[in-house]
Amino acid sequence: MPLNSKIMTAVEQLNYRVTVGDVATQAGLDIDQTERGLLALASEVSGNLQVSEAGDIAYLFPKNFRSVLRNKYWRLRFQALWDKIWPAIFYLIRISFGIFLVLSIVLIFVAIAIILIAMSSQDDRSDNRRSGSFIPRFWITPDLFWFFNPNPRYHRQHVRRQPKDPDQMNFLEAIFSFLFGDGNPNANLEDRRWREIGTIIRTNGGAVTGEQLTPYLEVSDHQRENEDYVIPVLTHFDGRPEVSPQGEIIYHFPTLQTTAKARQQRASSTYLQEYPWKFSQAGSGQILLAIGLGGLNLVGAAVLWSLLRDGTIAIQLGGLVGFVYSIFGVLVAYGIGFLGIPLIRYFWIQGRNSKINARNQQRQTSAVTLSRPDAALQQKIGYAQTFAAQSVVSSENLAYTTEKDLLEQEYERADAIDAEWQQRLNSTE
């Protein structure tokens, strides 16, 4: 089966010796997927299995297992190369939108200037012959340097007072951020959800109530009554329900009670919080500049269209003017989209964030209720703790490991038993 990158990352974070429960909690994966992934990884990199006397299994991996895999599979080598070059490719994609905007403005206003010069030249041809020189009546072109540095005096007086942010976007990156934003802030929401739930279960010894899970789930009032919202958690972490003498249900997760190393775990937050979408991480000045350039682009396109309406001038002048006329539809479409896309995205974000706030409020309410449990909930949590346990697969309680030959392990075990009996005899004497 294909190797899972999340499992490999979790193995590294857990110092290369893990149980299925360790990795499932760390990576936020379900038990079956984690178990299959660990077996596949151990098979590919010659990992070792360690079995405790209680029958629990720990996986031991070499610290250079990624190098072993890269040497073994060209696909992983290609993936490693792609991970290096993709940031550069994506950066070029990001700045291309800003470059196209600047080029669009330059082409439009240069074409306007050429047309106006040609029209002025026709009107003043007789005067030019007498004077021997030609001075156009006016010259229309944007001072692009002004847009990047609109007021040097203001810049010196105000901007220098603020410390420079090393992570601040440059102008071209800000254009992309203004157009499309900066990605989904909750792209890893499900991974965070399962990590938090796994950590809560482990913190409580592998047995919890449904109320202890609600701060990390979306639960409707109907689901809260029959607790069917716990079913995905039971499936994910191989849990099973247990019924108390009072008829209440708690949930037991034996696989998460086994760990390769005793760890004190705490959830990173009392409830799962979704992050609100931001319109853009660009500065307010950069956003205003982008809007201004977008408006300038549309104004220039409108002026140019008034000059090229019948296409006669474009045919007569040809060259750059003819080229701009041929792609004029593309320039106008880009100009409209440059301001239209962010406007649509702004209203979409407002609606999205209102739903996110409602879900966060619901989960926070569940967390507050859990922090102040009534007598019935305290009794239910107390019954769940009767199933709490932790089994550590340590090097001292191993019954078998693939690191050594089986016969050698039998000899070592026999020697250990003899040494233990000898110690007992000496103590009785």
One pLDDT digit (tens) per residue for the chain, 429 residues: 578 889 999 999 999 999 999 999 999 898 989 988 898 888 888 888 787 777 677 888 999 888 888 877 777 778 778 888 998 999 999 999 999 999 999 999 998 988 888 878 766 554 545 454 443 433 333 443 333 344 444 333 433 334 445 357 888 999 999 999 999 999 999 999 999 999 999 999 999 999 999 999 998 877 787 788 898 999 899 888 888 888 888 999 998 888 877 666 666 789 999 999 999 999 999 999 999 999 999 999 999 888 887 777 777 778 888 888 889 899 999 999 999 999 999 999 999 999 999 999 999 999 999 999 999 899 999 999 998 887 776 666 555 455 555 555 555 555 555 566 666 656 665
Q: Residue 209 — φ and ψ, nearest 5°? A: -100, 165
Q: Domain for residue 220, yes or no?
A: no
Residue 199 lies in a domain: yes
Q: Are residues 158 and 57 in the same domain?
A: no
CB contact set of 280 (below 8 Å; sequence gap of 6+): 174, 177, 178, 181, 182, 287
| Domain match, 62 and 181 both | no
351 assigned to some structural domain: yes
- Contact yes or no for 370/212 (Cβ under 8 A): yes
Cα angle 186, 188, 191 (rounded to 5 degrees) comes to 135
Chain centre to alpha carbon of residue 287: 24
Q: With beta carbons less than 8 A apart as the criterion, state whether 68 and 62 touch.
A: yes
Whether 183 and 280 map to the same domain: the answer is yes
Residue 373 within a domain: yes
129 and 63, same domain (yes or no) = no
Do both 194 and 160 map to the same domain? yes
pTM reported for the whole predicted model? 0.69
Burial tier of 341 (Cβ tally within 10 Å: 0-12, 13-18, 19+): middle
Q: Which of 14, 41, 75 is the last residue of a domain?
A: 75
Residue 217 lies in a domain: no
Do 189 and 273 share a domain, yes or no?
yes
On whether both 381 and 291 belong to a single domain, the answer is yes
Q: Are residues 317 and 193 in the same domain?
A: yes
Domain limits at 114? 96-203+263-387
370 is a domain residue: yes
Number of domains the chain contains: 2
Residue 406: inside a domain, yes or no? no
**Whether residues 195 and 335 fall in one domain:** yes
Alpha helices in 250-327 (DSSP H): 284-307, 312-317, 319-326
User: Are 269 and 343 in the same domain?
Assistant: yes
Pair (173, 299) in one structural domain: yes
Give the side-chain half-sphere CA count within 13 A for 50: 20
* Residue 63: CATH number of its domain: 1.10.10.10
Residues 70 and 170 both lie in one domain: no
Q: How far is it, in rounded angstroms, from Cα 343 to Cα 336?
A: 11
Asked, for residue 394, whether it belongs to a domain, the answer is: no
